[in-house]
Amino acid sequence: MVTVQCYCGAVRMELTGEPLAQFYCHCEDCQAVHGAAYLPAVMYRIPATRLVAGEPAYWKLKTTVRAFCRECGTRLYAEPPGLGIRSITALLLHQGLFKPTFHIQCQHALLPIKDTLPHFKGFPAMFGGSDEQVSW
């Protein structure tokens, strides 16, 4: 079990089991919501996540509901509709626990990212995509 919390500690969540995926998201929604070129994310099924302190506030920019701390504004997680998953902001994990294995939505990347991970143009097949990659 892993515990994550917002930066002020008002909201805490327990994550159980292994994550479904760990990746960097370059979609326009994540860029706009987080004010960043991409977002490190770790994905769990909702039942494997449990709020143990505090109550986040919820909002959505387009279609994805997102949770944040009412006190400090830390972005906590997103819940893409119909998938039964929570995409936790990986910056909340303890150092060394985030082990990304790919990038997604690279068609929206602001700049090329040069690393050894796969860079999917949209979504990988495991997310219902085509596995098409970009070559930088």
Is residue 12 in some structural domain?
A: yes
CATH number at residue 23: 2.170.150.70
The count of domains in the chain is 1
Mean pLDDT of 50-54: 97
User: How far is 105 from 134, CA to CA, in rounded Å?
Assistant: 10
Instruction: Round the average pLDDT of the chain to a whole number and report it.
Output: 95
Q: Rounded to whole angstroms, what are the CA distances from 118 to 18, 71, 113?
A: 21, 37, 10
pLDDT of residue 13 exceeding 90? yes
Check residue 41 and give its pLDDT: 98
Contact 93, 76 (CB under 8 A): no
Mean pLDDT of 71-94: 94
pTM above 0.85, yes or no: yes
Check residue 82 and give its pLDDT: 85
Is residue 132 in some structural domain?
A: no
Is residue 101 in some structural domain?
A: yes
User: How far is 83 from 30, CA to CA, in rounded Å?
Assistant: 17
Range of the domain at 123: 2-127
Is residue 114 in some structural domain?
A: yes
Bridge partners of residue 3, in order along the sequence: 14
Contact 113, 136 (CB under 8 A): yes
Is residue 134 in some structural domain?
A: no
Residues above pLDDT 70, as percent of the chain = 100
Is residue 136 in some structural domain?
A: no
